[in-house]
Structure 1
Amino acid sequence: MTPRRTRRPRAPAWTATLTWKAAVFIAVMCCALAALLGTLVHVSVTGQTVRDAREKALARLVDATRLYEAGEPLPPFAGLDPAGLPDPLRRLTARGERGTMVADHRGRPTMWAAAPADGHALAVRVDHSLGAGTIDALDRSIVGSSILAIGATLAVGAFAVTRVTRRLHATAQVARRITAGDLDARVDDPRTRDPRRPQDEVATVSGALDTMAASLQRKLQSEQRFTADVAHELRTPLTGLSAAAELLPEGRPAELVRDRVRAMRGLTEDLLEISRLDARNETVDLAVHELGPLVERVARASGTGPGAGTGTEVRVVRDAEVETDRRRLERVLGNLIANAHRHGGPPVVVTVDGATVTVRDHGPGYPAYLLASGPQRFRTESGGKGHGLGLTIAVGQAEVIGAELEFGGAEGGGAEARIRLPEYVRFEDDPREP
């Protein structure tokens, strides 16, 4: 029987934050410092108080010894073998030695001093209640002041750390915006604006992020301009080539030329569309559409190879109304269906379930790189024709219309693309209202 592993409990997420770690570190260091200082003060004051009481008790013992030797009566605080004398002092005097000791006498702290006298123990006592009370009051003051000091230090430390973590969170938020495509996002830390101000580590990271974002923005804009310029420059000669191809005599060579010209024109249009999507200045024309009939129209017009328009099966599980840009949605669905026909395997099934449309084929499935990081331009691994721009355009157009496009594997094999649209909710008039 295999032993069952027990899961270790996971700490809450907030325990991993810098604020929590800094607070714990400050609290531990403050407690350690307070304990060290408190111990030193307690030992020092206690030692001084006990020394003072011991000197006083020994002075009284000298006086009592002189009176005993002179045969005069002993004072009330002295006596031979008095009751309450600690046993260690009795044994000490029995050995002929003199000593002192703090012990309780009738419920009160007392400093005893004893010396041998004719086989007896001559002892004196000094009330040590004031000294013991002073030490107790000092200990309470040390504990109270330590708590206040720890609280104040924690408050000041948390305030200082929070200011740093707030700036770090702002830097992380800007980094996430840049990752999402907002290349205009900047941290603009106040410490980086004025070079005369000293910069801490957070300001250094913020400045480096702003510099990286600016450099990345310049490079991407340069690439976008290059792509758009190349596509624009290709349109004119391609138009001329298309017109010239129409003048060629019918035959196999003419068909090959026209086919390549159509492919070049399609690639040029795709590049122009991608450059417009990269510029992020697209506008949408929203309207309410029934999703089922729209998908059926796209399926009839899409597909590749023999049987195009008839090789796509449409299943409407539940129809819905969506508010979207019809042209852009048709472009997304058309690219997904065309990609399924070109790189997948039959049958290609398009399912409408509410505001969700699923395009599935029964081919080898999407390549691993696409599932991991999304479509990449000019990269295909299926061995078929294409430049890897169709899915890239589909992703860009889906983002413009506010839809979610996901790529995955289907149960039983094949590729599956799922697009979720914002469903339109129609508010019916309440019949109870006049």
Structure 2
Amino acid sequence: MPSETRKFDLIVLGAGAAGLMCAAVAGQRGCRVLLLEHNAQPGRKILISGGGRCNFTNIHCMPANFISENPHFAKSALALYQPRHFLELVERYGIRWHEKTLGQLFCDHSARQIVDMLLVECERGQVDIRMNVRGVRVESTSGEFRVGCPAGEFTAGALVIATGGLSIPKMGATGLAYDLARQFGLKVIQPRPALVPLLLAGAEKSWTELAGVSADVIAHANRGPMFREKLLVTHRGLSGPAVLQASSYWRPGEAIQVDFAPDLNGKSSLLASLLERGARRDALALKQALRDVLPQRLAAQLAEAGAPEGWSNAAIEAAERRVRGWEFRPSGTEGFEKAEVTAGGVDTAELDSKTMEARTVPGLYFIGEGVDVTGHLGGFNFQWAWASAVAAASNL
């Protein structure tokens, strides 16, 4: 290791969305900033997001769109830096964008435009960016942080950890944020996959024969809100936006409830034709009634798995209730490999909500996905990255 030690005002670990934003803002505020990244290129998860077009924020972003042990923690940062602020930055760079469903904003062309924008912002702040930095060691003495790695040895009065969570390890995800938090005595809420497909096993394995079938549904986990979006059956279980949203609230052993007829708005009319005087009451009639609102293969599956016993009025009404609140009991998730984000992370009780600084370690900050703040699907996690980064940088 080189003997020379270079001094900075701030060292940022991680050149993802949060790290790039924090380094750029701090640099433009006059800080001498060093940004270290262990990948060969910055912003790798930005580049693959939104199908390569980066769902960079959501105009409807509110604290209710986030999951945390402390649901109030994100309020300060989200109020400080709002979607309109990031949109102003995007438009300043002439990046064309469009709004999709539910307030989601995407680049018209490429996610690379967002990465390039952030790199130019870092250049404006004269940020020293080093890539392929592996084997980072962090120590703290006399109010300074010393970071050692093969690239050299560096010191700074402030250290921002923006190394993300465990999701998508093939993109370089590691548990470094949690290791460093524990090193400095901070509590970590057990990380878990979020926005992740769910697996089906046992008797429910038959559903996977419908792989590729999708439907508009309302889905929710026991402790979570209801999400009206698409459900997609896969060769391993369930996915699609509605299921991904519910998965962030799901816990092993619990159920996911799905309403397969959301357009009925709570009215009990899905199987009304079977209750009419003289109506045919059998599996074929049931299947036909379900086909009126569902894809054919899905209707057949529900007709077979949810057929009423006895075909009495009460039995048919019970069958309708089941279709409107179908319970799946997933055997697990597809894990961090397929999870879009990581839930859990550095306990927010350890951090100042206005600055993201560790309460017991002055000068140490945690931002982005590594913190126990997880957004819903649809641009919310990027907004948290921008907001938490600005909150930290504004305090330096």
Do both share a fold (TM > 0.5)? no
Q: Which structure exhibits the higher relative contact order, with contacts defined as CA atoms closer than 8 Å and separated by 6 or more residues?
A: 2
Which one has the largest radius of gyration?
1
Scaled to the shorter chain, the TM-score interval is: under 0.3
**Which structure: greater strand fraction?**
2
